[in-house]
A and B are shown apart, each in its own frame.
Chain A
Amino acid sequence: MAYSDKVLDHYNHPRNVGSMDKSDSAVGTGMVGAPECGDVMKLQIKVNPLTGIIDDAKFKTFGCGSAIASSSLATEWLKGKTVDEALTIKNTDIVNELALPPVKIHCSVLAEDAIKAAISDYKIKQGADVAALAQAH
């Protein structure tokens, strides 16, 4: 299969590879997929508590080149966005940007799921913090 130049670029030079502290309340972690399916994505965001803007994003992906590229691209797009802006990223945007063929669309879906899961984790943590604060009062 021929890969697009953009997929190759992300595969050869993946952006923002790494892990952040899962227990940090400013960090949201999303892990989607399953080893049996051949794809697992872990995507993390770190949100600035003062501005509500995603300061940092990291990923690690087990999967094909298109899955790696989709998650690498997602981390690039997440940085600098507010959490609500991040929720507007759609899998079709990733498909278009990376010129993914139809058999690889599920990779972009997985990346969108990972973004949503990371944001959801972050929001739950914030809610938990508020609850904890309320309880303390």
Chain B
Amino acid sequence: MKPIYFDNHATTQLDPRVLQAMLPYFTEMFGNAASRNHAYGWEAEEAVEKSRGQIASLIGANSKEIVFTSGATESNNLAIKGVAEMYAEKGNHIITAATEHKAVLDTCKHLEKKGCRVTYLPVMGDGRIDMEMLQSAITDKTILISIMYANNEIGVLQPIAEIGKLAKERGVLFHTDAVQAVGKVPVNVISDNIDLMSITAHKMYGPKGVGALYVRRKGPRVQLTAQLDGGGHERGMRSGTLNVPGIVGLGEACAIAKAEMAEESKRLSGMRDRLRAKFEAALDEVFINGSMEHRLPHNLNMSFAYVEGESLLMGINDIAVSSGSACTSATLEPSYVLKALGLGDDMAHTSIRFGLGRFNTDAEVDYVADKLISVVIKLRELSPLYEMVKEGIDLSKVQWTAH
């Protein structure tokens, strides 16, 4: 039997309805959307334009403001590098946050090498940025603020509308990486004053390898320097033959999300709250990471103190979740997001991220809660730290032999 999937921040299962919409575009409707002189091209273009409309409708945009890409990494690269190059004469300063995805952070680091100045805002203990700090970070050289809508590890929502308002007042462009938020919570580029927004299909029950960048056309009209040279597709901002089946899938995923979001988010937050309540009822010394008030409905990130994350995952190998433990990461460093909240490495090592999704059931929530609780109890019996704490020893006063 395959593990229960509770890792919906990593990726989501393709919705069968999305697959059905995509299938004809792999076979009989295989045309190139840029072919202007025959029916194959026309039907492909029609499908692409329909998708553009579906995406725009979900986020309150105009369909002409949607640029298709290969996914959010490309969208983030295009938005940030594209602005930095296009507005180089106006300034060279970018503001972002310490808890951003690597696709934003590493893009910013790349630009630093090219002469840009980047401010990485710290976050408060709840995972949100401090608006006053943002305000004072803006200079007359600032051209872009890039702050994510919702974090991929802790699900914390940033004060997007406030950031958008501030950016507009100060004449700075505002980009948001919204891959975790779009389709999950209401997002509106007009009311939030967003100028650029990255979207990906596979986090919202669509296919991998396709995404979009929202680029505002009015008030202000945002311009970007293209990062790929070629046929000048997508109003010259992103060359390359369009991935028509993928684009159809992204559009369909947006249409489904729009129709079902209200009900789905209520159902998922109910399941999430029940999962949390079960942990808190059965276990002592468990801690929520990040704000519960400003959070995606389907995210839970908890530290199970004195139990190391990888050993916990090993005990629940019939459940797919992620840990902030160093042992589970490629870099062997504990989660930089959790550290940015002020969590010590010891607590980051004990964290588990649960990402609920459309295809999870109540029965799965019960199973995951019971299983995890039993493994935490077992591992705490093995944990010298838990034993010491129960004896009343303050672990912060112990002389450890770091290795």
Partners in one complex: yes
Please give the residue numbers on chain A whose beta carbons come within 8 Å of chain B beta carbons, in ascending order: 3, 11, 14, 17, 19, 31-42, 60-65, 67-68, 103, 106, 109-110, 113
Task: Tell me, rounded to whole Å, the shortest Cβ–Cβ distance linking A24 to chain B.
Answer: 16
Check B403–A68 contact: CB distance below 8 A.
no
If A3-B314, A64-B308, A65-B310 touch, whether A38 touches B384 (CB-CB below 8 Å) is no
Which chain A residues border B346 with CB–CB below 8 Å? Answer: 35-36, 38
* Residues of B288-315 whose CB lies within 8 A of A: 306-308, 310-311, 314-315
Task: Tell me, rounded to whole Å, the shortest Cβ–Cβ distance linking A64 to chain B.
Answer: 4
Check B383–A34 contact: CB distance below 8 A.
no
Task: Tell me, rounded to whole Å, the shortest Cβ–Cβ distance linking B393 to chain A.
Answer: 11
Cross-interface CB contact of A60 among B308, B314, B384, cutoff 8 Å: B384
CA distance in complex: A6, B346 (Å): 27
Beyond A60-B384, A62-B384: 10 further Cβ-contacts under 8 Å?
A11-B314, A14-B382, A33-B403, A35-B345, A38-B327, A60-B383, A60-B387, A62-B308, A67-B311, A68-B382
Check B401–A64 contact: CB distance below 8 A.
no
Q: List 13 A-B contacts (CB under 8 A).
A: A17-B382, A35-B395, A38-B325, A38-B346, A40-B384, A41-B384, A60-B383, A61-B383, A61-B384, A62-B306, A64-B327, A65-B314, A67-B311
Check A36–B402 contact: CB distance below 8 A.
yes
Asked whether B326 is an interface residue with its Cβ less than 8 Å from the other chain, the reply is: yes
Residue of A nearest to B345 (CB): A36
Asked whether B232 is an interface residue with its Cβ less than 8 Å from the other chain, the reply is: no
Asked whether B349 is an interface residue with its Cβ less than 8 Å from the other chain, the reply is: yes
Number of contacts between A and B (CB, 8 Å)? Answer: 88
Which chain A residues border B334 with CB–CB below 8 Å? Answer: 38
CA distance in complex: A61, B383 (Å): 5
Which chain A residues border B344 with CB–CB below 8 Å? Answer: 35-36
Which chain B residues border A63 with CB–CB below 8 Å? Answer: 308, 311
Task: Tell me, rounded to whole Å, the shortest Cβ–Cβ distance linking A98 to chain B.
Answer: 14
Interface string of B359-403 (1 = CB under 8 A from A): 000000000000000000000011111110000000100001111
Top 10 nearest A-B pairs (CB, nearest first) are A34-B400, A35-B346, A42-B384, A36-B345, A60-B384, A64-B310, A38-B349, A65-B314, A34-B402, A64-B327
CA distance in complex: A38, B335 (Å): 12
CA distance in complex: A40, B389 (Å): 14
CA distance in complex: A36, B346 (Å): 4
Residue of A nearest to B395 (CB): A35
CA distance in complex: A36, B339 (Å): 12
CA distance in complex: A64, B350 (Å): 11
Please give the residue numbers on chain B whose beta carbons come within 8 Å of chain A beta carbons, in ascending order: 306-308, 310-311, 314-315, 325-327, 332, 334, 344-346, 349, 381-387, 395, 400-403
Which chain B residues border A35 with CB–CB below 8 Å? Answer: 344-346, 349, 385, 395, 400
CA distance in complex: A127, B156 (Å): 57
Which chain B residues border A14 with CB–CB below 8 Å? Answer: 382
Which chain B residues border A38 with CB–CB below 8 Å? Answer: 308, 310, 325-327, 334, 345-346, 349
Task: Tell me, rounded to whole Å, the shortest Cβ–Cβ distance linking B329 to chain A.
Answer: 11
CA distance in complex: A38, B387 (Å): 16
Task: Tell me, rounded to whole Å, the shortest Cβ–Cβ distance linking B239 to chain A.
Answer: 40
Residue of A nearest to B378 (CB): A14
CA distance in complex: A15, B307 (Å): 18
CA distance in complex: A136, B125 (Å): 58
Check A33–B327 contact: CB distance below 8 A.
no
If A3-B314, A38-B345, A39-B308 touch, whether A32 touches B381 (CB-CB below 8 Å) is no
Task: Tell me, rounded to whole Å, the shortest Cβ–Cβ distance linking A33 to chain B.
Answer: 6
CA distance in complex: A91, B334 (Å): 25
Cross-interface CB contact of B311 among A11, A31, A33, A42, cutoff 8 Å: A11
Task: Tell me, rounded to whole Å, the shortest Cβ–Cβ distance linking B41 to chain A.
Answer: 48
Which chain A residues border B403 with CB–CB below 8 Å? Answer: 32-34, 37, 39, 106, 109-110, 113
Task: Tell me, rounded to whole Å, the shortest Cβ–Cβ distance linking B92 to chain A.
Answer: 37
Check B311–A65 contact: CB distance below 8 A.
yes
Task: Tell me, rounded to whole Å, the shortest Cβ–Cβ distance linking B387 to chain A.
Answer: 6
Task: Tell me, rounded to whole Å, the shortest Cβ–Cβ distance linking B400 to chain A.
Answer: 4
Cross-interface CB contact of A32 among B306, B314, B385, B401, cutoff 8 Å: B401
CA distance in complex: A67, B395 (Å): 20
Cross-interface CB contact of A64 among B306, B311, B383, B395, cutoff 8 Å: B311
Task: Tell me, rounded to whole Å, the shortest Cβ–Cβ distance linking A79 to chain B.
Answer: 18
